[in-house]
Amino acid sequence: MGSALHKAIELILSADAELLNILSVTARMSLQSSLLALLLGVPLGIWLGACRFPGRGVLVVANRTLMGLPPVVCGLLFYMLFSGVGPFRHMKLLFTVKIMVMAQVALITPIIISNMETYVAGIAPAVRETAKGLGLSGWKTFALLCNECVYQIISVYLLAFARSIAEVGAVSMVGGAIAWKTNVMTTAIMQYTNRGSFSLGIALGMILMATSLLVNIVISLLQRRLSR
């Protein structure tokens, strides 16, 4: 572990071009996918949590099942669809960052929906009562509800980001771990491990954790400020 720490520091200080590329691809992929999933998942989650309609229970159970979708299965699905012989072959998306983002969004969105749904279902009755007492319209009730969710949304975003930066099964399948193009931290760690360069793998893992720590500190501070 000690030599790995030295290597990690050395790697960062050397500003190795390939490492910088891996870092930038990782950042691009995980930021894009977590934000897209947030945009999709939060409205759906609030809708599922706040509204009562027939078939809601089925949707909730279906969504919770999707939360357990194994990343490799998700990756395999996208691989088959966008393969050279797959139905979407003309889009030429296989082994690009775009398809990695798509696979990640498919994996993360159910988690966001479920988290939002659980939270909103808990606070919705109270919010509805307050809104009724104040005589607020439907839209204003919705706005009030969203306002109550801000703290939760930030927590959920952190979850989404952590999940997408740490994921390896799906991205290695659809991205192919191609150097200078689709190689992210996790797939690079796998490659180093296969070459026996364990300390280099651990070094990359440390950089990954440090990045995660930074993002978490920034967002937690933001969360505190917003919730005050």
Partner 1 sequence: MKKILSLLLVCVMLFGLAACGAAEKPAQTGAPTPAPTEAPTAAPTEAALVVDTCILKEADDKMRNTYTLLAVNPDAPFTDADGNAVSDVAVNTAGADALIHWMLSQEALDMAGNYGVAEYGEHLFYVKDDAPVYTGEIAPATEETKTIRLSTTTSVKDSGLLDDLLPVFESTYGYTVEVQSAGTGKAINAAKFGNADLILVHSKSQEEAFVEAGFARVVDGFEAERISFIYNFFVLCGPSADPAGVADCDSVLDAFAAIAEGKYPFISRGDASGTHTKELSLWPEALGITADAASFADYTDWYISANAGMGACLVMAEEMGAYILTDKATFLTFVANDGVME
Residues forming contacts to partner 1 in the complex (CB under 8 A) are 1-3, 5-6, 80, 83-87, 89, 92, 94-95, 176-179, 181, 191, 193-200, 217, 221, 224
In the complex, least distance from residue 67 CB atom to partner 1, rounded to whole angstroms:
25
What is Dmax (Cα atoms) for the chain? Answer: 67
> How many angstroms separate the CA atoms of 74 and 203, rounded?
28
Tokens of 142: 């919705």
In the complex, least distance from residue 84 CB atom to partner 1, rounded to whole angstroms:
2
| DSSP code per residue over 40-61 | HHHHHHHHHHH---TTHHHHHH
Q: Smaller CB distance to partner 1: residue 13 or 85?
A: 85
Residue 119 CB partners (closer than 8 Å, separation 6+): 49, 149, 152
Count CB neighbours of 167 within 10 A: 24
In the complex, least distance from residue 60 CB atom to partner 1, rounded to whole angstroms:
31
In the complex, least distance from residue 22 CB atom to partner 1, rounded to whole angstroms:
15
Q: Smaller CB distance to partner 1: residue 44 or 171?
A: 171
Structural contact between residues 203 and 7, judged by C-beta atoms closer than 8 angstroms: yes
Q: Smaller CB distance to partner 1: residue 103 or 131?
A: 103
List the Cα angle 37/190/77 in 5-degree steps: 45
Q: Smaller CB distance to partner 1: residue 52 or 195?
A: 195
Q: Smaller CB distance to partner 1: residue 80 or 166?
A: 80
Structural contact between residues 197 and 191, judged by C-beta atoms closer than 8 angstroms: no
In the complex, least distance from residue 31 CB atom to partner 1, rounded to whole angstroms:
23
